[in-house]
Amino acid sequence: MAATHRALLDYISERSSTPLAKDEISRIESMFVPRKLRKRQYFLQQGEVCNRGGFIVRGAMRQYSVDEKGAEHIAELMVESWWIGDLVSMFTGAPSSFYIDAWEDTDLLVASVEDFARMRSIPAFAQMAKSMIEGHTVAIHHRAHDALTLSAEQRYEKLLRTHPEFLQRFPQHVVASYLGVSPETVSRIRRLATTR
């Protein structure tokens, strides 16, 4: 078994009360294809239909849109053991509103939407997928609520608590876009934090 698949199988096992049988492991390994992306290489471009999803084995990625002025607006930051793909595009077949690219050289395991559907017949995978989608839905809700109710300082402090790896892996302007603030605001918050 490849080390890349081991990371995914461990992820599934940790999120399921049903163990994977040997034939199920073989099916998962056959459906998830290893893929490497270089830094800034696209996994998905705006306007494409997202017909595949990926599991990050090593690396860091971002999902973002670009407005009419050319400004990037980051919707998601993702690192090891995170899933990538535009769920709305995957579920509806509509063109994606997002770009997804690698921020670092990245190793992925990629499967088609059709293979994801086939893997739902594997109880452990189905449990994991349900948990993943529920977690993603809750995270989106919290993110929207935070954007409406928390100050820039509070959003930064929450990110520091919940995902400190983002602050280590992504530069200040990317973190600022993710938080919906200017890079200068992030710089000011960091300065204040060091003087406390």
Secondary structure (DSSP) of 81-143? T-EES-HHHHHH-PBPS-EEEESS-EEEEEEEHHHHHHHTTSHHHHHHHHHHHHHHHHHHHHH
Average pLDDT over residues 33-52: 97
Q: Is this model's pTM higher than 0.95 or not?
A: no
List the structure tokens of 170: 């992504």
Note the pLDDT tens digit of each residue in 63-110: 999 999 988 999 999 999 999 999 999 999 999 999 999 999 999 999
Confidence of residue 1 (pLDDT cuts 50, 70, 90): very low
In angstroms, rounded to a whole number, what is the distance separating the alpha carbons of residues 91 and 94? Answer: 8
